[in-house]
Structure 1
Amino acid sequence: MDFDVIVLGSGIGGLTCASRLSKLGFKVGVFEKHYIPGGYATNFKRRGYNFDVSLHGIGALDEGGNTHNILNHCGVLDKITPIKNDIAYSVSYKGKLIDIPNDLSLYKNLLFELFPNEIKNIEKLFKDITKFNRGFEKFILDKNSSILKKINIDCLTFIKWSEKTTDEVVRSYVDNDDFVYIFTSLWPYYGLPPKQLSALYYFIPWISYHMYGKYYIKGGAQKLSDSMVEVITENGGSVNLRSEVTSINIEDNKAKSITLKNGEVFTTKYIVSNINPIDTFNMTKNYTVPTKYKNKISSPTIGCSLSQLYIGLDCNPKELNIPVEEVFYFDAGTPEEDYELSIKANYKECGILVTNYSSMDESLNEYNKGVITVTLIDNYAHWSKDRSEYAMQKESLTNILIDRLEEKFPGIKSHIKVTELGTPRTMERYTNNPNGAVYGYSQTIKQAGRYRLSTDTPIENLFLVGAWVNPGGGYEGSISSGMMVAQHIFNK
């Protein structure tokens, strides 16, 4: 047997699983078709500028937080330098910017100041968020069956919210449009507006951000991925780049080996796939996928994609009065209206997220080489497969976003030295995710929590990790899925 565990794909979920198992003594082999590890968790360089592909922040890195604990168990925590800034993020609100503090009590006090007539209701909301969190820890993380026999109020809060949208939960406490606008301003992180987004999926990462700290990683997402690779190789494993897997070989309903594009075969006891579930099961050989399970992986709605413009400046962003951290600019009414503008490719009016990487990590680039990004939810179907038309679409969106930046930060055009636009087709090309999806399946009520695809599969010793399965997309969700599968394999 060549490996104890083979991991397909080196996204952050796969690397988490591989690094944890390596620390536990398993011989792990990771196979990745790309030339760098990390999936979305990577950096790239253009003309002397260092760009972070996707990391805006990771929650729960305070001591005792879920992400802190996982990275510690993976042997990664002492290889990275988390950066915690005073401001978590900002949101445009009635012509001014509201800075959201990276501290729970300060954030609550800010909401009191903004909505003095809702103080009692806000207090109740925050109190029940704490109950929801305790219920999550007991009901999901504890996994003690006796809990079901004596469900307490914390678990009941968790269960109740799991069947509601984010908007429904928030308005049951504070039925105020402006409050909902500010309190749910993180919704673009999760790919759906509050009236569609599962409350379960919104509040778990919200708690990580606001109760256990939002951080950036010094050096960017690539530093996190590279640190996991270091752990794997230091413990006798290997990360094999430019090694595309073409088949997962099944014998007697057990995953036994993989075959690479070059014909090499590697045997193993366990296979963990960080590839999307649809492609994973298209790769299985000598196996007929049960109809019921085929529907589970093919019928759910696939989530949105993103477009992101990476910009290199010849000055520091502060010289152009670009805010620190990142700002959600919603210029078109309600979150639902904003989402529709994005899906319909109305790039001149849809919401955008402006991220100031030079502020988040001063070491990422030289002081006078400022780096910012502009991110927006996007629709894969809008983008042409014709090369010439696609090129024109990219140029058009780039110009639109630069014009929008010029309106907000006059003079920025003359300081732009480098631009690189990633579209939904870029996301598809580098990850093979259907429709360039960045969050896996949409996080609606019926596709989150207990309804979401499990990390287990019908094939013995084949597991799934990443955004498509429980607990969901994003850095923390993918990292958590990797940890869950690693512990499951260890306990077998």
Structure 2
Amino acid sequence: MKKTVIVGEGIAGLTAGVYAQLNGFKSEIYEKNPVAGGQCMGWDRKGHHIDNCIHWLTGTKKGTELYKIWETLNAIGDDVEMIHNQTFYTSKLDGKSATLWRDLDKTQRELLQIAPEDAEEIHKLISHVRLAECCEMPFNKPMDMMNIFDYINMGKKMAGMFKVMKEYDKMDIEDLGNRFENPLIRKLLTDYMCKEYFASSFIISYATMTSGNGDIPLKGSLAMTNRIIKRYKELGGVLHTNKPIKKIIISHNKAEGVILNDDTVVHADYVICATDTAETFGRLMDSSYMDKKLKVCYENPNDYPVFSGLQMAFSADNNLFSDETIIFDFKPITIGNNDVTRMSLKSYHYDPSFAPEGKTVLQVNIMQRKDDFDYWKSLNKQDYKNAKQTIAEAVTDRIIECFPKLNGHIELLDCWTPLTYEKYCNSFNGAYMAFIEKKNIKIPRLKGKVNGLSNVFIASQWLQSPGGLPVAAATGKFVIQRILKKEGKSINI
């Protein structure tokens, strides 16, 4: 039985581990942190649970290829209760609000009432969201391993997407917003994602929810991660935490194994890097092994931006905030060199396990870009702590100004920045998604092979835009299919 060493136990590494065990390999996963999960994580503060990752999970609809992966991992299934949120989010502007509902007819009625002057564009938007409900990324096998029949079947399943791409794929989200005259509708359409994303990305994201393919597993990210860990161990996989890897041992264009930080040598037939690719190339192995197309992304941050978040979690009385996610304006708060005037506030009232009785967790997210990351990175330890406290107090004040009922009934639980993701996940510029694909700029789709090395592979959200949990899980499966192909075995897993 051949041995596979997997570096990193986020969702990509765990998925690779499960599929390795299911397909005749002996695997061991090495994780630098005390707990596994990567960014699919949560933690406790003052009797409350803070969920870091899942706002909604793509692949919750039975029969889809991604659902089959999640089911294989034991991430979701018949025994996992799912939350079916009724709103995607709400945007508020100048005392008025607009909501994207799970029910598309309800959304259409509300938007037409708010902005009859935009009736034509509203009808067009809603009709194309319906068309996009068929969208499902291919997760059965890597696209470079698909044959003509696979492509024909994919085209049949996603027939509606041709019209969506024809209408929206040449514009970004800012262009989409500019199609509308009403300022509230413009704000609604540009609030959720970075303005550089393709408009079609927004359409697909909303359609994921309206189609029933974007629900939330009860008890959140950490519980889902723990179910996958349990599945991996039950299959005979070995998990090592608090075991950071120093280097991959490379000799004669082949990896012999890895060296741990304590200089222990672990031999392996295959090495899978399930880490941030900036960490993989430069520390685990020389940067010369990085694919030239990926290197272009890292070297041109204006063309290939990333984003992160400044986030805070609060305890609040659970009867004082009924919205699921609302995005709103507030008096400016200065963060580094930027004045911030808009934030999202999400309530976890739908999951009573997150808070003591009578309480709920509210979570703020303020988008952060590279210059914000550079600001946080420039601070010494004390200044960093002071800046977080000052900004958290300002955010608390703004929340109370916008929602006066929360005055005296809200308490800060925690505050974290892009540096948190860098510290715990080695995330490039603190990003929690992959590179943003802008119009006229093509993000490469990478195969997960390391050029020049015969037995080193990659499983990572950075292999394909937009990244996130679905891509992490898919690449974890795909990497085992690539190894199976190399071994001359069937890739139909």
TM-score of the pair, normalised by structure 1: 0.83
Higher mean Cα deviation, 482-491 or 40-49? 482-491
Decide whether the 8 Å contact of 1:328 with 1:353 is kept in 2: yes
Separation in 1, partners of 2:181, 2:147: 36
Question: Cα distance, 1:291 vs. partner?
Answer: 8.1
Question: Cα distance, 1:342 vs. partner?
Answer: 7.4
Question: 2:355 matched to 1:354?
Answer: no
Change (3 A) 1:373 1:232: same
Equivalent of residue 306 in structure 2, options 295, 303, 309: 303
* Partner residue in 2 for 1:441: 435
Separation in 1, partners of 2:109, 2:471: 29
Decide whether the 8 Å contact of 1:471 with 1:478 is kept in 2: no
Change (3 A) 1:482 1:104: farther
Change (3 A) 1:289 1:107: same
CA displacement 1:146-198 (0-9 Å, x = unmatched): 759x98976755765555423446767x67654343234321xxxx22xx213
Equivalences for 1:90-489 in 2 at 5 Å?
90-129=90-129, 143-145=146-148, 157=163, 160=166, 161-168=168-175, 178-187=184-193, 192-193=194-195, 196-285=196-285, 288-289=288-289, 292=292, 295-296=295-296, 298-301=298-301, 302-313=305-316, 316-318=317-319, 321-330=320-329, 344-347=337-340, 349=341, 351-357=342-348, 359-378=349-368, 379-383=372-376, 384-410=378-404, 412-445=406-439, 449=443, 451-458=444-451, 459-489=453-483
Amino acid at match of 1:6: V
Question: Cα distance, 1:411 vs. partner?
Answer: 5.3
Separation in 1, partners of 2:426, 2:135: 36
Amino acid at match of 1:395: Q
Change (3 A) 1:463 1:155: farther
Change (3 A) 1:47 1:170: closer
Question: Cα distance, 1:474 vs. partner?
Answer: 2.7
Decide whether the 8 Å contact of 1:23 with 1:75 is kept in 2: no
Separation in 1, partners of 2:477, 2:164: 22
Gaps of 5+ in 2: 487-493
Separation in 2, partners of 1:167, 1:475: 25
CA displacement 1:205-228 (0-9 Å, x = unmatched): 333223234322211210111111
Separation in 2, partners of 1:480, 1:354: 30
Decide whether the 8 Å contact of 2:76 with 2:217 is kept in 1: no
Separation in 2, partners of 1:454, 1:205: 24
CA displacement 1:36-77 (0-9 Å, x = unmatched): 111121111122222112322223412234542321233332
Decide whether the 8 Å contact of 1:466 with 1:472 is kept in 2: no
Question: Cα distance, 1:243 vs. partner?
Answer: 0.8
Question: Cα distance, 1:260 vs. partner?
Answer: 1.0
Amino acid at match of 1:165: D
Decide whether the 8 Å contact of 2:9 with 2:30 is kept in 1: yes
Question: Cα distance, 1:300 vs. partner?
Answer: 4.1
Separation in 2, partners of 1:268, 1:89: 47
Decide whether the 8 Å contact of 1:133 with 1:158 is kept in 2: no
SS at match of 2:404: coil
Amino acid at match of 2:352: E
Decide whether the 8 Å contact of 1:274 with 1:466 is kept in 2: yes
* Partner residue in 2 for 1:335: none
Decide whether the 8 Å contact of 1:58 with 1:209 is kept in 2: no
Decide whether the 8 Å contact of 2:289 with 2:450 is kept in 1: no
Separation in 1, partners of 2:129, 2:409: 44
SS at match of 1:391: helix
Amino acid at match of 1:356: S
* Partner residue in 1 for 2:62: 63
Change (3 A) 1:266 1:108: farther
Separation in 2, partners of 1:310, 1:229: 26
Amino acid at match of 1:48: G
Separation in 2, partners of 1:476, 1:294: 20
CA displacement 1:287-344 (0-9 Å, x = unmatched): 843683673463242412211112234xx332xx313322122459xxxxx9x98784
Decide whether the 8 Å contact of 1:455 with 1:470 is kept in 2: no
Question: Cα distance, 1:32 vs. partner?
Answer: 0.7
Structure 1 vs Structure 2 CA RMSD:
3.5
Decide whether the 8 Å contact of 1:84 with 1:216 is kept in 2: yes
What is the percentage of aligned positions where both structures have the same residue? 20
Gaps of 5+ in 1: 333-337
Amino acid at match of 2:418: P
Separation in 2, partners of 1:270, 1:203: 39
Separation in 2, partners of 1:257, 1:125: 52
Higher helix share: 1
* Partner residue in 1 for 2:81: 81
CA displacement 1:339-378 (0-9 Å, x = unmatched): x98784324x2x1111111x12112222233221111112
Question: Cα distance, 1:261 vs. partner?
Answer: 0.7
TM-score of the pair, normalised by structure 2: 0.83
Separation in 2, partners of 1:171, 1:157: 20
Decide whether the 8 Å contact of 2:98 with 2:111 is kept in 1: no
